Amino acid sequence: MNNFITLGQFIIEKQAEFPYAKGELSRLLRDIGIATKIVNREVNKAGLMDILGSAGNTNIQGENQQKLDVYANDQFISALRSGGECCIVASEENEDVIHIDSPVSKSAKYIVAIDPLDGSSNIDVNVPVGTIFSIYRRKSTNGKASLSDVLQKGTEQVAAGYVIYGSSTMLVYTTGCGVNGFTLDPSIGEFCLSHPNMKMPENGVIYSINEGNYVHFPIGVKKYIKHCQVEDKLTNRPYTSRYIGSMVADFHRNLIKGGIFIYPSTAAAPKGKLRLVYECNPLSFIAEQAGGRATNGTTPILGLEVTELHQRTPIFIGSNAMVLEAEKMMVLTPGNEYINDLA
Ligand code: AHM
Ligand code: MG
């Protein structure tokens, strides 16, 4: 008798706690889980196949698409299409929303926003990459679902999760009742519950930020970096700097060990780099569900108005106490002007 719980079993058990649930969300999560295993297989053999490198296309963000980006995008969309529980998909890799017009998804009430392969520029050097997803309920009641159904605030998320393709592959998700993590056991091809009820430490000693952009940071961010580097035995400073450049990996480490991840606005990118709908909102939902905090420096990410599919936002995400400390410095600097000095 095995004493582990698989992702499939866990989803069904959770569904049973809601007697009126029809199982649609459970099936949607299952579909995402299946696509994840297929993507995992390809990510793992990336070095063996002629699959490394660029697909030669440029996506809507003007970024070079990697072959595995395209592959992962296709896998998730095809799993959602055949599953029938999703009416519209918003993906980092597609300029517009994708309508799922299959016969089974006619009355589907869920919307999925996804970054199929985040950090994909790291694939060539064997650094962990990830998938990030978010699930919303459709708001419109008749006709085809449309972009306006996707442009919902993060507070409206029904579920969110990420997969980290790392030294092991993990799927971490929330439906708003805590956060649970599952590790893929390759020998049986199943995600098994390995990290039940995950909690982000209230405080930490790790800060993650691309310090190469330092001169372009707002003064509040510079002050916070200085704060992290100053010696203070009482608060365990100086902190440790860790930046992988793969948001899922940086976030995952900080979720487990405690820490803060910052991708602020910069002089060159005043709106920040990371995307609200399929990167920041899902990870912020998970952070909050694990007891952490996520803001754009002044306002909670989940409360931000969403006006564009590929909208960007600055983000400060991680242990509650660390994000609060960073926010204090942002507020202390009226306007957070861009001053390119090293003060
Ligand atoms: P991507 O969606 O094009 O992969 O970009 C997102 C990634 C994040 O995973 C990571 O945190 C960030 O970009 C790193 O950016 P930078 O190289 O500017 O530090
Ligand atoms: Mg991304």
| Tens digits of residue pLDDT in 265-321 | 998 899 999 999 999 999 999 999 999 999 999 999 999 999 999 999 999 999 999
CATH number at residue 272: 3.40.190.80
- Ligand 2 center–CA 2 separation, angstroms: 37
The pLDDT value given to residue 342: 42
Atom in ligand 1 nearest the alpha carbon of residue 63: 3
Pocket of ligand 1 (CB under 6 A): 63, 92, 115, 118-120, 210, 245-247, 273
Closest C-alpha to ligand 1, atom 6:
119
Residue at which a domain ends, from 195, 222, 241:
195
CA distance 174 to 51: 32
Q: Which of 231, 297, 261 is nearest to 162 (CA)?
A: 261
In single-letter form, the type of residue at position 99 comes to: H
Residue at which a domain ends, from 162, 195, 228:
195
Across the strands, what pairs with 159?
135
Domain-located, residue 2: no
- Ligand 2 center–CA 119 separation, angstroms: 6
Q: Show the low-confidence residues of the chain (pLDDT under 70).
A: 1-2, 19-20, 48-66, 104-106, 332-343
The pLDDT value given to residue 331: 73
- 213 and 182 share one domain: no
Domain-located, residue 313: yes
Domain-located, residue 70: yes
Domain-located, residue 171: yes
- 170 and 289 share one domain: no
CA distance 264 to 241: 16
- 133 and 270 share one domain: no
CA distance 68 to 112: 20
Atom in ligand 1 nearest the alpha carbon of residue 129: 9
- Ligand 2 center–CA 16 separation, angstroms: 34
Across the strands, what pairs with 272?
none
CATH number at residue 92: 3.30.540.10
Give the three-class secondary structure for 164: strand
- 184 and 220 share one domain: no
Domain-located, residue 300: yes
- 261 and 159 share one domain: no
Contact present, 92 and 146 (Cβ < 8 Å): no
Q: What share of the chain is helix, strand, coil (3-state, %, to 5)?
A: 35, 25, 40
- 164 and 253 share one domain: no
- Ligand 1 center–CA 69 separation, angstroms: 13
Q: Where are the alpha helices (DSSP H) in 114-176?
A: 147-150
Closest C-alpha to ligand 1, atom 4:
119
- 111 and 14 share one domain: yes
CA distance 318 to 201: 9
Domain count, the chain: 2
Of 162, 216, 246, the one to substitute when testing ligand 1's pocket (max ligand atoms within 8 A of C-beta) is 246
- Ligand 2 center–CA 3 separation, angstroms: 36
Of 247, 275, 311, the one to substitute when testing ligand 1's pocket (max ligand atoms within 8 A of C-beta) is 247
Cα angle for residues 225, 229, 230 (degrees, 5° grid): 120
Residue 298: CB partners within 8 Å, gap ≥ 6? 327, 330, 331
- 184 and 43 share one domain: yes
Q: Is the dihedral of CA 29, 34, 38, 41 positive or negative?
A: positive
Closest C-alpha to ligand 1, atom 11:
247
Give the three-class secondary structure for 265: coil
Give the chain's mean pLDDT: 91
Residue at which a domain ends, from 153, 168, 195:
195
Contact present, 342 and 309 (Cβ < 8 Å): no
In single-letter form, the type of residue at position 211 comes to: E
Q: Domain containing 314: what range?
A: 206-336
H and E: helices and strands count for the chain? 8, 15
Output the pTM of the full model.
0.93
- 60 and 175 share one domain: yes
Domain-located, residue 200: no
- 180 and 258 share one domain: no
CA distance 163 to 142: 33
Q: Which of 304, 106, 337, 142 is nearest to 221 (CA)?
A: 337
The pLDDT value given to residue 124: 83
The pLDDT value given to residue 343: 41
- Ligand 1 center–CA 121 separation, angstroms: 8
Domain-located, residue 88: yes
Backbone region of residue 176 per phi and psi (left: phi > 0; alpha: psi in -120 to 50; beta: other values): left
The pLDDT value given to residue 332: 63
Q: Which of 250, 257, 321 is nearest to 279 (CA)?
A: 250
- 66 and 153 share one domain: yes
Domain-located, residue 138: yes
- 150 and 255 share one domain: no
